[in-house]
Chains A and B, each alone.
Chain A
């Protein structure tokens, strides 16, 4: 009997190795009770789903998820440590790190989603724009609608020295750069944060502009539009669909048309937190990856997600308003509902991978509009991107998940390819103005704009 033991062990060991997928051990997390913040927008979905589907629990993390009043408050609470991490605008960790607004080192290893924003104008403006918008044979406007049809209205308003006021959600938000990109591509100057000829700095970003873009928290956009304080806005879902549902405005374009598959929100943590809790960071990223994958796995999951998000403690908007964009349709004018399968992308196209080139794009726009007043060398962009974006953590989480047997290597083929190519996306021209963007040559891109600081 004694002699047989080792053999028996070997055999059982082999059998186990064959029958049961190799299971990696749980990570030894440094902190297991966590609180994450979010803003009431559908793209907080991966965080909410990771909580509701028990993905955080599977990692041994007890997580509470708490709605925050506005982006500024959310960022403050991440910096002070009241929140362990949060749903952040992609520009927020970057803006904080370069010191535009609040200075703090914020890092990210997880991109929450691609796309998901829209630009909505008030009924009044749409009435004026509509006649000059090109239409298809069915009489419906051809998308993407450019700002060309808005240009005469803006010019009239400037001549009457009563500039149009529009809303965006935060100075370093994707929305701010997108609505600026959209306006500038039609020759409308959206206003600068810095004037190199005089050296003047303007915090609201109104300098030499044809329109005035100001900050409004996303959930208040529809109300502010209805009250007439602003005549248009760029915001994430469900607040464009809300405007349609309530008949107070018309979405004219989505950010998918401004820049196809653009990074939108990230999961940000403070550098201090990340340094103190490296394993927790990987564990959280694992749960988020599973949530992102779940969200993109089937249309049924999207419906279920919309139901969860419509709970009052999450996004809280009506189910049909949330489900519209979450399930891949987008309603422009009332009744003009179009298929937009890529309106919200959480995992497909390697969407959750934190590409350096995405970070660099935001930096180029910060330079373009004067949020970063000096021109920078290409190496500045690279070093900043490497400081803020952490694909290494993402890849560690991926490897853990593969070890757990949850996923296979093929599921993450694109992530491994991205690692091979140095973390940059290949150059793309998927912009509304057709400009070519190569993340490794940011200055060339900045110089290609007609409107913008160079």
Chain B
């Protein structure tokens, strides 16, 4: 919970009541507070520094917030580098930081020896040169290699079109206009084709994000109404609670075969070049089943603990059932719901990697699985890169949910 330290509104403004009326004055406290709210608490000392609010204290804070994490990260890299040298079996080793860097960029860090000396041999021209000096087996090198292939494809496509146009002309000369028409159609067909790209790492990040977006959205649509029902009706809660407790701890790996059957049965085979592959739905389904529970339970608790005063107001106003929920219960339990959603997206992202592996959805999980199977020296290093990216995306998703969570938490007195 370290954001509690960094982001806590401990530095809430005390003096802005007087200045509040003068709109165009830069109010460091207000800016800092907004930044805190947006989950960008790291930058609030900067905002205060600009506003000359206790500069010495802000500089100290910035130094702390910057130097300490960098220090810890350096210690981690050092530890990693040492471990990588120690942990080695006949066939595998933990990739070093340098190897991982190379696996991402395809270029060795200047001044250091090549991290994969044994793999250079297989990379003679022309393949290597075509990739502008990047190792084609690295993540970036592969993306570039894909562009090169696409360029080649377009050339060969033109050749095919020309060939059939020539044939059409020949047929015309022969006087066989039906055949000429057919060849012209063929040429058109070839011209309409596009390159069937291989998925690069960057495509796979997007597919993973899309998958979790779908899974998480469906989970929310199911969990919030169910949670509200559980919260307002103790009887309903008693009825379904055993089911919730039973399914909550189930692993994504166990859900997979069931979801696989469902998607196979319920979804028509999409065209091969469509992004909406069945595997994507299977993966999203597994994510949904696993990320449902935190939202459901938090919503139920939130709804059940709505202040009795609020409910009394609803009674006084003689609000109907639906209105009562919409106007009183839901707004009052939003902070809890969003806490649940934030937990859910965390669970979903974690589950997604396993789900992708099982369902063969072209996301990050599939990337990790394919690299694991490649058995090349560089593939483990690419898995390390993927680990960092998975972590970074997970962090990013969490931050987004944090902002939403903060926005619905009532702190009117500060705004």
Q: Are A219 and B91 in contact (CB under 8 A)?
A: no
Residue of chain A at shortest CB distance from B273:
A33
| CB atoms of A33 and B271 under 8 A apart | yes
Query: For residue A319, which residues in chain B have a CB less than 8 angstroms away from its CB?
Result: 119, 121-123
Indicate with 1 or 0, residue by residue over A30-63, a CB within 8 angstroms of chain B CB atoms: 0011110000100000000000001001101011
Closest to B156 in A: A54
B residues near A67, Cβ cutoff 8 Å: 370, 373
Chain B residues positioned under 8 Å from A310 (CB to CB): 122, 137, 376
Chain A residues in 8 Å Cβ range of B362: 66
The verdict on A298 contacting chain B, using a C-beta distance below 8 Å, is no
Which of B170-178, B316-324, B398-406 interfaces with chain A? B170-178
| Bound-complex Cα distance A351 to B156 (A) | 29
Chain A interface, number of residues (Cβ within 8 angstroms)? 55
Among B90, B173, B196: residue with most chain A CB under 10 A: B196
| B233 interfacial contact with A, CB 8 Å | no
Query: Complex Cα distance A246/B89, Å?
Result: 9
Tell me if A312 and B167 are in contact (CB < 8 A): no
Per-residue 0/1 for A215-243: is the Cβ within 8 Å of any B Cβ (1 yes, 0 no)? Answer: 00101101100100000000000110010
Interface residue tally of chain B, by bracket? 35 or more
Residue of B nearest to A84 (CB): B272
Q: Quick one: which of A60, A246, A320 contacts B189, CB cutoff 8 A?
A: A60
For B43, list chain A residues within 8 Å (CB): none
B259 CB–A CB distance under 8 Å: no
CB distance from A50 to the nearest CB of B (A): 12
Q: Is the CB of A313 within 8 A of B198?
A: yes
- A103: Cβ under 8 A from any B Cβ: no
- Cβ contact within 8 Å between A62 and B273: yes
Question: What residue of chain A has the Cβ atom nearest to residue B274's Cβ?
Answer: A33
In chain B, positions 237-290 with a C-beta closer than 8 Å to chain A are 260, 264, 269, 271-273, 277-279
Decide if B375 touches A317 in the complex (CB within 8 Å): yes
Do B278 and A80 touch across chains, with their CB atoms under 8 A apart? yes
Cross-chain contact A312 with B279 (CB below 8 angstroms): no
- Segment from A12-20, A109-117, A421-429, A445-453 that makes contact with B: A12-20
A64 & B89 in contact (Cβ 8 Å cutoff)? no
Do the beta carbons of B90 and A246 come within 8 Å of each other? yes
Q: Give the docked Cα–Cα distance between A411 and B358 (Å).
A: 43
Residue from B170, B269, B277, B374 with most neighbouring chain A CB atoms (10 Å): B374
Closest B residue to A26 by beta carbon equals B186
Chain A residues 304-344 with CB under 8 Å of chain B are 307, 310-313, 315-320, 323
- The answer on a CB contact under 8 Å between A82 and B121 is no
Are A312 and B142 touching (Cβ within 8 A)? yes
Indicate whether A69 reaches chain B with its CB closer than 8 angstroms. yes
Within 8 A of B (CB), among A58-91: 58, 60, 62-64, 66-69, 73, 76-77, 80-82, 84
Produce 1/0 per residue, B361-387, CB < 8 A to A.
Answer: 010000001111111110100100000
- Contact at A16–B122, with CB atoms within 8 Å? no
Q: Tell whether, in the assembled complex, residue B272 and residue A9 are in contact, meaning their CB atoms are under 8 Å apart.
A: no
Cβ A12 vs Cβ B374 within 8 A? no
- Which of A120-135 touch B at CB < 8 Å? none
A432 interfacial contact with B, CB 8 Å: no
Q: Is A82 in contact with B277, judged by CB distance below 8 angstroms?
A: yes
Interchain CA distance A32-B192 in the complex, whole Å: 12
B174 touches A40 (CB 8 A): no
Task: Judge if B360 is at the interface, Cβ distance under 8 Å.
Answer: yes
Number of A-B residue pairs having CB atoms within 8 Å of each other in the complex = 136
Contact of B160 with A by CB under 8 A? yes
Q: Which chain B residues border A16 with CB–CB below 8 Å?
A: 170, 173-174
In the bound assembly, the distance between CA atoms of A252 and B53 in angstroms comes to: 77
Residue B194 interfacial (CB < 8 Å): yes
Contact call A57/B370, Cβ cutoff below 8 A: no
For A138, the chain B residues whose CB sits under 8 A away are none
Chain B residues with CB under 8 A of A9:
174-175
| Contact string against A for B residues 45-62, beta-carbon threshold 8 Å, 1 for contact and 0 otherwise | 000000000000000000
B136 beta carbon closer than 8 Å to chain A? yes
CA distance A212 to B297 in the complex (A): 47
- Which B-chain residue is minimally distant from A227 (CB atoms)? B89
* Chain B residue, CB-CB nearest to A307: B127
Q: Determine if B278 and A318 form an interchain contact, defined as CB atoms under 8 angstroms apart.
A: no
Min CB distance, B88 to chain A, in Å? 11
Contact pick for A312, options B90, B137, B360, B369, CB 8 Å: B137
Q: Given A16-B170, A223-B92, A226-B89: A312 and B277 within 8 A (CB)?
A: no
Most buried by B among A34, A219, A311, A318: A318
Known: A12-B173, A222-B375, A316-B374. A248 touches B90 (CB 8 A): yes
Q: Which residues of A contact B371 (CB under 8 A)?
A: 312, 316
Return the contact of A311 from the options B137, B174, B382 (Cβ within 8 A). Answer: B137
Are the CB atoms of B369 and A69 closer together than 8 Å? yes
**A residues near B118, Cβ cutoff 8 Å:** 318
Residue numbers in A under 8 Å from B153 (CB-CB) = 54, 57
| Most chain A beta-carbon contacts within 10 A, residue among B92, B160, B271, B360 | B360
Cβ contacts under 8 Å, A82 to chain B: 269, 277-279
Let me know if B80 is at the binding interface, CB within 8 A.
no
* Cα A175 to Cα B122 with chains together (Å): 29
- The interface residues of chain B lying within 8 Å CB-to-CB of A54 are 153, 156
A61 to chain B, nearest CB (A): 9
| Contact across chains for B360 and A311 when beta carbons are under 8 A apart | no
Does A23 sit at the interface, judged by CB under 8 A? yes
Q: Is the CB of A312 within 8 A of B370?
A: yes
Q: Does A196 contact B (CB under 8 A)?
A: no
Q: Are A81 and B142 touching (Cβ within 8 A)?
A: no
- Which residues of chain A have C-beta atoms less than 8 A from B92's C-beta? 223, 226
A434: interface (CB < 8 Å): no
Q: Is the CB of B127 within 8 A of A312?
A: no
Known A34-B272, A317-B375: A246·B91 in contact at CB below 8 Å: yes
Judge whether A320 and B122 touch: CB under 8 Å: yes
The residues of B that contact A99 with a CB separation of less than 8 Å are: none
Contact A64 B272 (CB under 8 A): yes
Find chain B residues with CB under 8 A from A20 CB: 170
Whether B182 is near chain A, meaning CB under 8 Å from some CB there, is yes
In the complex, chain B residues whose CB is within 8 Å of the CB of A246: 90-91
B90 touches A247 (CB 8 A): yes
Chain B residues lying within 8 Å of A60, measured Cβ to Cβ, are 186, 189-190, 193
Complex Cα distance A220/B375, Å? 9
Interface residues of A in 163-203 (CB under 8 A from B): none
- Whether A410 is near chain B, meaning CB under 8 Å from some CB there, is no
Q: A16-B170, A226-B90 are in contact. Are A40 and B374 (CB under 8 A)?
A: yes
B357 in the interface (beta carbon within 8 A): yes
Chain B, residue nearest A219 (CB): B373
* CB-based contact A223/B272 at 8 Å: no
**A73 contacts B360, C-beta separation under 8 Å:** yes
Residues of B near A35 (CB, < 8 A) are 272-273
With an 8 A cutoff between CB atoms, is A275 at the interface? no
State A307–B121 Cα separation when bound (angstroms).
Answer: 11
28 examples of A-B residue contacts, CB within 8 angstroms: A12-B173, A13-B174, A16-B170, A32-B189, A33-B273, A57-B156, A57-B160, A60-B189, A64-B272, A64-B273, A68-B360, A69-B357, A80-B278, A82-B278, A84-B272, A219-B375, A220-B373, A242-B91, A246-B90, A247-B91, A248-B91, A307-B122, A311-B145, A316-B370, A316-B376, A316-B379, A318-B122, A318-B377
Query: Residues on A close to B: CB < 8 A?
Result: 9, 12-13, 16, 20, 23, 25-26, 32-35, 40, 54, 57-58, 60, 62-64, 66-69, 73, 76-77, 80-82, 84, 217, 219-220, 222-223, 226, 238-239, 242, 246-248, 307, 310-313, 315-320, 323
Q: A238-B375, A318-B377 are in contact. List 17 more A-B contacts (CB 8 A).
A: A12-B174, A33-B273, A34-B272, A54-B156, A58-B160, A60-B186, A80-B269, A222-B375, A226-B91, A239-B375, A247-B90, A248-B91, A312-B137, A313-B198, A313-B199, A316-B379, A318-B376
Top 3 A-B residue pairs of the complex, sorted by shortest distance between their CB atoms:
A319-B122, A316-B374, A219-B373
